[in-house]
Amino acid sequence: DPLLQRNKYQNARCILNSGETKNLPGREEQLEELKQFFREHLENKRSGSLYVSGQPGTGKTACLSLLLHSSEFSLSLQRIYINCTSIASIGGVYKKLSSELKLKPQGRAEHDYMASIQYHIQNSKKMLLIVLDEIDQLCNTKQSILYTIFEWPSLPNARLLLVGIANSLDLTERTLTRLSARCDLKPKHMHFPPYTKQQIVNILKSRLEEADVLDIFPPLAIELLAARVSAVSGDVRRALDIGRRVVEMAEQQKKAGDKEMNLQKLTTEAVGNLENLCKDNSVTLKPVQVTHVAAVLNKVYGASQNLHEDIEQSFPLQQKIMLCSLMLMLRNQRNRDITIGRLHEIYRRVCNKRNIHSLDQAEFVGLVDLVQTRGILHIIKKKEPRLSKVQLSWDEEEVTAALCDKQLIASILDDTTCLSK
Amino acid sequence: ATTRIGTPKRSIHMSNVVEELVFDKREILSTPTLKSKKSLIFNKEEEDIEKILQRVTPKKPAEKTPKRGRRSNSNYLKDSETPKTPKTPKTPSQKLKMLRSGELTPSFKEREKIDQSKSTKNILQLARECLHVSAVPLSLPCREKEFENIYTFLEDKIKDQCGGCMYISGVPGTGKTATVTGVIRALQKQVQEEALPTFDYLEINGMRLTEPRQAYVHIYRQLTGKTVTWEHAHTLLEKRFTTTSPRRMTTVLLVDELDILCNRRQDVVYNLLDWPTKTTARLVVITIANTMDLPERLLMSKVTSRLGLTRLTFQPYSHKQLQEIVTTRLSGSEAFKSEAIQLVARKVAAVSGDARRALDICRRATEIADSSKDKEICVNLLHVQQALSEMIASAKVQAIKNCSRLEQILLQAIAAEVARTGIEETFFMGVYAQLENIAHYSGGVLIPTIGQVLRLCSKLGAQRLIICEHSRNDIFQKILLNVSMDDIHYALKVTSDATT
CB-CB neighbors (< 8 A) of B292 in chain A: 307, 373-375
Distance of alpha carbon B360 from alpha carbon B373, whole angstroms = 21
Of B238, B302, B353, the CB nearest to A167: B302
Distance of alpha carbon A79 from alpha carbon A71, whole angstroms = 12
DSSP B499: H
- The residue of chain B with its CA nearest to that of A313 is B318
Residue ranges of chain B with pLDDT lower than 50? 1-42, 56-80, 500
Are A19 and B162 inside 8 Å of each other by CB?
Answer: yes
Q: State how far residue A123 is from chain B, nearest Cα, in angstroms.
A: 23
Distance of alpha carbon B333 from alpha carbon B395, whole angstroms = 34
Other Cβ atoms closer than 10 A to A406 = 10
- Give the burial string for B336-350 (b: 16+ CB within 10 Å, else e): beeebbbbbbbbbbb
CB-CB neighbors (< 8 A) of A348 in chain B: 484, 486
CB-CB neighbors (< 8 A) of B308 in chain A: 18, 237, 241
Backbone angles phi, psi at A163, to 5 degrees: -125, 125
What's the sign of the alpha-carbon dihedral B55, B60, B61, B64? negative
Of B290, B394, B467, the CB nearest to A386: B467
Q: Per this entry, what is the length of chain A?
A: 421
pLDDT tens-digit map of A234-270: 899 999 999 998 988 888 888 888 888 888 777 776 5
Are B305 and A56 inside 8 Å of each other by CB?
Answer: yes
Q: Give me the residues of B, 394-453, that contact A with CB < 8 A.
A: 394-396, 424
Mutate to test the interface with A, among B169, B213, B272, B315 (most CBs of A within 10 A): B315
Q: State how far residue B232 is from chain A, nearest Cα, in angstroms.
A: 10
Are A316 and B350 inside 8 Å of each other by CB?
Answer: yes
Q: What is the structure's pLDDT at A335?
A: 87
> By the 8 A CB rule, do A340 and A367 touch?
no
Q: State how far residue A6 is from chain B, nearest Cα, in angstroms.
A: 10
Distance of alpha carbon B204 from alpha carbon B299, whole angstroms = 19
Distance of alpha carbon B25 from alpha carbon B144, whole angstroms = 75
Quote the Cα angle for A72-A73-A78, to 5°. Answer: 155
Helix (H) / strand (E) element for B13: namely helix B2-56
Helix (H) / strand (E) element for B12: namely helix B2-56
Q: What is the structure's pLDDT at A2?
A: 46
Q: State how far residue B102 is from chain A, nearest Cα, in angstroms.
A: 25
Of B162, B163, B394, the CB nearest to A360: B394
Number of H helices, E strands in chain B: 20, 8
Q: What is the structure's pLDDT at B151?
A: 95
**How many alpha carbons lie under 13 Å from residue B161 in its C-beta half-sphere?**
10
Helix (H, G, I), strand (E, B) or coil at B466: strand
Of A245, A373, A374, the CB nearest to B309: A245
| A60 pLDDT more than 70 | yes
Distance of alpha carbon B249 from alpha carbon A347, whole angstroms = 55
Q: State how far residue B305 is from chain A, nearest Cα, in angstroms.
A: 7
CB-CB neighbors (< 8 A) of A315 in chain B: 316
Residue type, B484: S
- Cα distances (angstroms) measured from residue B459 to each of A367, A384, B464, B466, B469: 28, 17, 9, 9, 12
Helix (H, G, I), strand (E, B) or coil at A33: helix
Residues 6+ apart with CB under 8 A from A177: none
Distance of alpha carbon A371 from alpha carbon A322, whole angstroms = 9
| Predicted ipTM of the assembly | 0.89
Of A20, A56, A252, the CB nearest to B278: A20
Distance of alpha carbon B174 from alpha carbon B363, whole angstroms = 18
- Beta pairing partners, B205: B256
Helix (H, G, I), strand (E, B) or coil at B478: strand
Mutate to test the interface with A, among B229, B264, B269, B309 (most CBs of A within 10 A): B309
Say yes or no: B486 contacts chain A, CB-CB below 8 A: yes
Please name the residue ranges forming H helices in A57-176: 60-69, 92-100, 110-123, 144-151, 171-175
Of B162, B293, B315, the CB nearest to A310: B315
Distance of alpha carbon A91 from alpha carbon A96, whole angstroms = 9
- The residue of chain B with its CA nearest to that of A92 is B231
Please choose, from the candidates B214, B292, B222, the residue with its C-alpha nearest in 3D space to the C-alpha of residue B253: B222
Stated pTM of the model: 0.83
Of A55, A310, A362, the CB nearest to B313: A310
Please choose, from the candidates B171, B208, B138, B149, the residue with its C-alpha nearest in 3D space to the C-alpha of residue B355: B171
Helix (H) / strand (E) element for A249: namely helix A236-268
Say yes or no: B484 contacts chain A, CB-CB below 8 A: yes
Please choose, from the candidates A61, A106, A97, A101, the residue with its C-alpha nearest in 3D space to the C-alpha of residue A78: A101
pLDDT tens-digit map of A196-229: 999 999 999 999 988 888 888 889 999 999 999 9
Other Cβ atoms closer than 10 A to A373 = 19
A-B Cβ pairs (cutoff 8 Å, strict): 140
> How are beta strands B478-481 and B426-427 bridged, if at all?
antiparallel
Helix (H, G, I), strand (E, B) or coil at A377: strand
DSSP string of B249-267, one letter each residue: PEEEEEEESGGGG--SS-H
Q: What is the structure's pLDDT at A289?
A: 84
> By the 8 A CB rule, do A16 and A247 touch?
yes
Q: What is the structure's pLDDT at B15?
A: 44
DSSP A257: H
- Cα distances (angstroms) measured from residue B95 to each of A13, A73, A108: 50, 52, 30
Q: What is the structure's pLDDT at A34?
A: 93
Q: How many angstroms from the chain centroid is the CA of residue A201? A: 20
> By the 8 A CB rule, do A69 and A129 touch?
no
| A11 pLDDT more than 90 | no
Q: Give me the residues of B, 365-394, that contact A with CB < 8 A.
A: 392-394
DSSP A51: E
